[in-house]
Structure 1
Amino acid sequence: MPLPMGDMPWPPPHLKPALDAMHAWDTWWSGEPDRLEALYGGTSGTGPDPKRLQYSSGMLGRLARWWWGTPTAPGERRTKVHVPIAGDLCSGSADLLFSEPPKFTVDDAATQDRLDALSDDGMLATLQTAAEVGAALGGVYLRPVYDKDIADRPWLDAVHADGAWPEFRWSRLSAVTFWKVVRKEDGQVWRHLERHERGVIIHGLYQGTKDSLGRPVPLEDSQATQGFATVVNDQGAIETGYDGLDVAHIPNQSSRRWRKDPTLKDLGRSDLDGIEGLMDQLDETYSSWMRDIRIGKGRIVVPNAYLQSMGPGQGATWNPDQEAFAGLDMLARADSSGQLTVAQFAIRVQEHKDTAEDLVNQILRSAGYSGQTFGLGGDIAVTATEVVSKERRSMTTRGKKILRWRPALAHAIEALLAVDQAVFGGGITPQKPTVEFEDSVQEDPLALANTVDVLRRAQAASTDTLVRMAHPEWDDTMVSAEVERIRQEQGMAVPDPMQSGALP
């Protein structure tokens, strides 16, 4: 299907449920209190009943009944506190996957050398960002891009799920259209649409409004797209040099809420899906805790005569943070001791702490992670086996995500190599690599050395096996060199008498 030829609602109406959910997840992920209040309608009240929306029916009423949907009373400052646990969840998910770079291997030596040059630190940073975005929005897309004015090689680029119109066939991505707003002026909106199909990328520029795509206009009409005008063919397409679709889609986890929707069921599920209410209650708990601290300050209740006068007809003021008073101008009276009342409220520290910890544990458990992954339980040194045992739930979630990342990443790397060959040459043979994710838990060196020593004394493993066990990051050349050095040091490097010709 080509790009739209005429006006249509935008974004496409069938994507609205997914885009609305992504907007909510993105708001929690951003950690901005202003956006949370705007999402749930909890802005400052201006009418006689600032909570009137909470009595409404439908979606508006349900959102307003959230704690973040409670408006701030007129005349009061906002005292809501937000705990950015959503950001911690998404970044922790990315750390579990890409704290270390994955290993890509292919059969052809020249292709391997070029792949090693392409998979530099920049690719690791892109994969970390993509993993965090995917955990927040439920999925992410990877595509190869290049610009000869910037670099002499292509690189992978991550596209967020809330800017994509995907098309699936048998749960496999068959085509996708990316869009972004490139210009806004006088109520008009210019959008750049980039459609990826098998072997080609089609570019289009549209002038419309906030809710409609509008009409197609020349690519030269926008500075953001005028560069494509000189490289596209008569159909507005660019050949990728790759025989298949050059975009890889990585769903975060299996979708729950859209499993019966044929157009949305393959989009994936956010780590934040289903825990929004718990995060709302966690913010309410911390805000209550801070409120206890705020109103727990010692106060001295005094008569009006003790207030600081602002002048005739201007009233009087009282500094609530003033800790002591000296030199009060007053007449000594027999009952003056009863004119000062000290107010000191209790601060319920333990109750709030226990509630917050229980909510955090429930949030992590519902999202599929162990508290140990996020520093709960202390930083006591333990072995790698103990770490895996305590973080079993996180490791299980990591394994499920790797099942989706490994084939998609292999596809993206194959497309990257094909684009590199088509655009920059080099004589390489594009092929799908083998992707290996590094172990996120490193073995304690002392425990590993003891294991190697026991195996050596038991003669249960060869020198080559022991070296590989002690240095899993080494390649075959480094392992062979180390084995040879060990043989030389131990005097085992002697010629075979059967091969020396010494015997008759």
Structure 2
Amino acid sequence: MPLPTADTPWPPIDDRVQNALADWDAWYSSEPDRLEARYTGRGYREAVDRPAQYRGGIVGRLARWFWGNPTPEGEKRDKLHVPLAGDIARTSSELLFSEPPKLVAPEGASDATQQALDDLMEKGLQPTLLEAGEVCAALGGAYLRVVWDEDVSDRPWIDTVAADRAVPEFRYGRLVAVTFWTVLETEGRADNRVFRHLEKHEKGRIYHGLYEGSTTSLGAVRPLDDHPATAPLASMVDAEGGLDTGAPDHLTAAYVPNVRPARAWRHIPTAAYWGQSDFQGIEGLMDALDETYSSWMRDVQNGKGRIVVPQSMLESQGPGQGASWSEERRVYSGLNMLQRPGDPNPLEVVQFEIRVQEHRDTCAELIEQAVRQAGYSASTFGETGDGSAITATEIRARERRSMSTRGRKALYWGPAIADITAALLAVEAGERFRVQGLELEPPKVEFQDSISEGPTELATTAELLRRAEAASTETLVRMVNPDWDKDQVAAEVDAILGESGRVVADPTLTGAEGGAPDAGFPSDGGGSGG
């Protein structure tokens, strides 16, 4: 279906979902100003929520957030933020894509297809996946879409869109259409009017539309020529505002849920198939972590040594200028009598205790609980271990929870990457780009192990397999050198067999009936006939 033709609230997403996305986005941004604005009602929530921060009772207790406590008038904000949310999102992405996944063409596909898949990964797909993986963990989902711009490149590529900038349409859990929107620059406008560019992807079609509305409504349709950002599209679309992708059987967008089900949204029909953020349920722990760390820093500030001196030891700066005291001065005048036994010390040093261990233990416990609830092991974030070298097997044991979460997320990423890659190849093979020899079936996606064994571990494993006669020489060579191609592997196998004297002659080339070739050397095909 084409884009909307009448004014409608925007985005057309349930308020509960929008509020959750806004909360997660504020934590992910790692910006204290946005967190304070989000939780005190300035800018992100309606002002009606704010009075709850200033009164007691049930409403006030429910609204108790560290970032929601207003800074008293006349005081500077002393709240500090620990960017744990961003660390969780980045770690999730790196567990999946720190090593580029391998795209394997379907069996029987042409060499051109495999070459196109290799080129796609080498020319920028991995950074796109790293970005998408981070946004997906933070907001509960991410989109991959096929885009092209002949002024930028002569071939299409894959782009990513965050979940809070899309309106999906699902059918039995499968994405059938999605509308992306972009808020365009509206500099110089005093009436708060907002220009939005809507881009709707359906099978074989993409619709473009320009709308002028407000911050909460889509507004009226405007010609694409009315804004410089959409003007180039005006000559490409038809009367309905759409254009053919050249791939009629493929949707040029794919949705990747972070994990399913989304516990908070499963009863919301429009969001039942959305993914769940890694931050779901740990917002309070992250808020408490910031409160604890801020308390620690207040102890540091209060723990600075301060000296209290009598008025007589201050030096006047002149009428109306006050008085000061220099800690570097050696001799002072102005005392009207000498110090006598029993008199109080005229100099008093004030030094408060800094509760380092208590704060450190509390922060460590909050971080451990937060990352555990998000699905990761504390060791993944460097919270355990003494820094000594450990084997890959020990790492996997320590990070079992993180590896399980990684495997679960890969189940969602694999099909999405395969689908969007097939759509990209279909667009390239279509009438727009006319690339020949491409197989349009989804490729196989192989995720690489983010934890690799060292040479000692590989050698030990290979030796045990050799002893058990459970693997051939070729398999062992591939295991120890996973990045080698087939020619390098074959050459190494020949060298090993030759040096070890384990080369077996081909009996069809010996020409000897009942005989055997010279031990350790391949047959040259000679010998007497029988």
Correspondence for 1:199: 204
* Secondary structure of 2:265's aligned partner: coil
1:406 to 393, 414, 428: 414
- For residues 216 and 230 of structure 1, the distance between their equivalents in structure 2, rounded to whole angstroms, comes to 17
TM-superposition CA deviations, 1:36-74 (whole Å, max 9, x none): 11111299xxxxxx9873327788x46752111112222
Q: 1:307 to 1:19 in 2, by over 3 A?
A: farther
Q: Equivalences for 1:366-381 in 2 at 5 Å?
A: 366-378=373-385, 379-381=387-389
Q: Is 1:104 aligned with 2:103?
A: yes
Q: Is 1:115 aligned with 2:121?
A: no
Correspondence for 2:400: 392
Q: 1:346 to 1:449 in 2, by over 3 A?
A: same
Correspondence for 1:239: 244
- For residues 57 and 147 of structure 2, the distance between their equivalents in structure 1, rounded to whole angstroms, comes to 48
- For residues 270 and 328 of structure 1, the distance between their equivalents in structure 2, rounded to whole angstroms, comes to 65
Q: Is 1:333 aligned with 2:343?
A: no
- For residues 475 and 192 of structure 1, the distance between their equivalents in structure 2, rounded to whole angstroms, comes to 46
How high is the TM-score relative to the length of structure 2?
0.88
- For residues 377 and 67 of structure 2, the distance between their equivalents in structure 1, rounded to whole angstroms, comes to 27
Give the superposition deviation at 1:495.
3.8
Q: Which has the larger radius of gyration?
A: 2
- For residues 63 and 205 of structure 1, the distance between their equivalents in structure 2, rounded to whole angstroms, comes to 41
TM-superposition CA deviations, 1:404-447 (whole Å, max 9, x none): 10111110110111112123222122220000000111012112
Moved more, 30-39 or 373-382: 373-382
* Secondary structure of 2:14's aligned partner: helix
Contact 2:316/2:324 (CA < 8 Å) preserved in 1? yes
For 1:425, give the aligned amino acid: R
Give the superposition deviation at 1:188.
1.4
Correspondence for 2:450: 440
Contact 2:250/2:426 (CA < 8 Å) preserved in 1? no
Moved more, 477-486 or 462-471: 477-486
Q: Is 1:84 aligned with 2:86?
A: no
Correspondence for 1:145: 147
Contact 2:52/2:63 (CA < 8 Å) preserved in 1? no
Contact 1:51/1:71 (CA < 8 Å) preserved in 2? no
Superposition RMSD in Å: 2.2
How high is the TM-score relative to the length of structure 1?
0.92
- For residues 113 and 160 of structure 1, the distance between their equivalents in structure 2, rounded to whole angstroms, comes to 29
TM-superposition CA deviations, 1:97-147 (whole Å, max 9, x none): 001000001131221112211222511000000000111111000001112
- For residues 241 and 55 of structure 2, the distance between their equivalents in structure 1, rounded to whole angstroms, comes to 52
- For residues 348 and 229 of structure 2, the distance between their equivalents in structure 1, rounded to whole angstroms, comes to 68
Contact 2:53/2:69 (CA < 8 Å) preserved in 1? no
TM-superposition CA deviations, 1:7-47 (whole Å, max 9, x none): 111121x333222211111111111111111111299xxxx
- For residues 118 and 399 of structure 1, the distance between their equivalents in structure 2, rounded to whole angstroms, comes to 24
- For residues 253 and 327 of structure 2, the distance between their equivalents in structure 1, rounded to whole angstroms, comes to 64
Correspondence for 1:248: 254
Correspondence for 2:3: 3
State the percentage of identical aligned residues: 53
Count of residues paired in the alignment: 493
Give the superposition deviation at 1:294.
0.7
* Secondary structure of 1:263's aligned partner: helix
For 2:404, give the aligned amino acid: T
1:424 to 418, 427, 433: 433
Contact 1:167/1:176 (CA < 8 Å) preserved in 2? yes
* Secondary structure of 2:450's aligned partner: coil
- For residues 41 and 112 of structure 1, the distance between their equivalents in structure 2, rounded to whole angstroms, comes to 53
Correspondence for 2:516: none
> Is there any run of 5+ residues in structure 2 with no aligned partner, and where?
43-49, 512-526
Correspondence for 1:67: 66
Correspondence for 1:135: 137
Correspondence for 2:465: 455
